[in-house]
A and B are shown apart, each in its own frame.
Chain A
Amino acid sequence: MPSDTPGVRPALELSDVSKHFGDLRALTDVSLRIEPGDCVLVYGPNGAGKTTLLRLLATLARPSEGKVLYDGGNVHQNPAAAKAAIGFTSHATFLYGELNTRENLEFVGRLFGLANLQQRIATVLDLFHLRERTKTPVRELSRGYQQRVSLARAFLHDPLFLLLDEPFTGLDAASTESLQGLMRRLQEQGKAVVFSTHDFEQGAAIARRLVALEGGRIRYDGLVGMAPLTALRIAREGRKTL
Chain B
Amino acid sequence: METLRVVWAIFMKDLRVEWRHRGTLASMCIFGILVVFLFNFAFEPAREETVRLLPGLLWIAFAFAGVLGFNRSFAAERENAGLEGMRLAPVDPGAIYLGKMLANLFFLGVAEVVVVFAASLWYNFSFVPAIGWFALITFFCTLGYVAVGTTFGAVAANTRMREVMLPVLQFPVAVPVFIAGVEASTGALKGDPVGDYAGWIKLAAGFSVVFVVLSYLLFEYVLED
A157: nearest residue on chain B (CB-CB)?
B89
Complex CA gap A94/B81 in Å reads 5
Tell me if A137 and B20 are in contact (CB < 8 A). yes
CA distance A113 to B17 in the complex (A): 21
Contact status A92-B17, CB under 8 Å:
no
Once bound together, how far apart are the Cα atoms of A81 and B89, in whole Å?
A: 10
Q: Indicate whether B225 reaches chain A with its CB closer than 8 angstroms.
A: yes
Query: Which stretch from B1-9, B140-148, B205-213 is at the chain A interface?
Result: B1-9
A86-130 with Cβ < 8 A to chain B: 86, 88, 90, 92-99, 103, 107-108, 110-113
Instruction: Identify which of B16, B76, B84, B86 contacts A111 (C-beta below 8 A).
Output: B86
Find out whether the CB atom of A92 lies under 8 angstroms from the CB atom of B80.
Answer: yes
Q: Is the CB of A113 within 8 A of B87?
A: no
B10 CB to nearest chain A CB (Å): 8
Q: How long is the Cα–Cα vector from A121 to B21 in the complex, in angstroms?
A: 25
At the interface, yes or no: A84 with Cβ under 8 Å from chain B? yes
Q: Is the CB of B9 within 8 A of A90?
A: no
Are B88 and A58 touching (Cβ within 8 A)?
Answer: yes
User: Which residue on chain A has the smallest CB distance to residue B223?
Assistant: A60
- Closest B residue, CB atoms, query A84: B90
Task: Give which listed residue, A79, A84, A103, A110, contacts B16 with CB less than 8 A.
Answer: A103
* Contact in complex: B90, A60 (CB < 8 Å): no
For the complex, give the distance between the alpha carbons of A94 and B84 in Å.
7
Cβ B89 vs Cβ A111 within 8 A: yes
B8 to chain A minimum Cβ distance, whole angstroms, is 8
Whether B89 lies near A97 (C-beta < 8 A) is: no
Contact B86 A98 (CB under 8 A): no
- Is the Cβ of B20 less than 8 Å from the Cβ of A98? yes
Any B CB within 8 A of the CB of A62: yes
Find chain B residues with CB under 8 A from A153 CB.
85
**A110–B5 contact, CB under 8 A?**
yes
* Interface residue ranges, B against A (CB under 8 Å): 2, 5-6, 9, 13, 16-17, 20-21, 76, 79-82, 84-91, 224-225
Known A-B contacts: A96-B76, A112-B90. Give 8 more (CB < 8 A). A88-B88, A94-B80, A98-B76, A99-B17, A110-B6, A111-B89, A112-B89, A113-B5
Listed A/B pairs (25) with beta-carbon separation below 8 Å: A59-B87, A60-B88, A61-B224, A79-B90, A84-B90, A90-B81, A93-B80, A94-B80, A94-B84, A94-B88, A96-B13, A96-B76, A96-B79, A96-B80, A97-B80, A98-B17, A99-B17, A108-B85, A110-B6, A110-B9, A111-B6, A111-B89, A112-B90, A113-B5, A113-B90
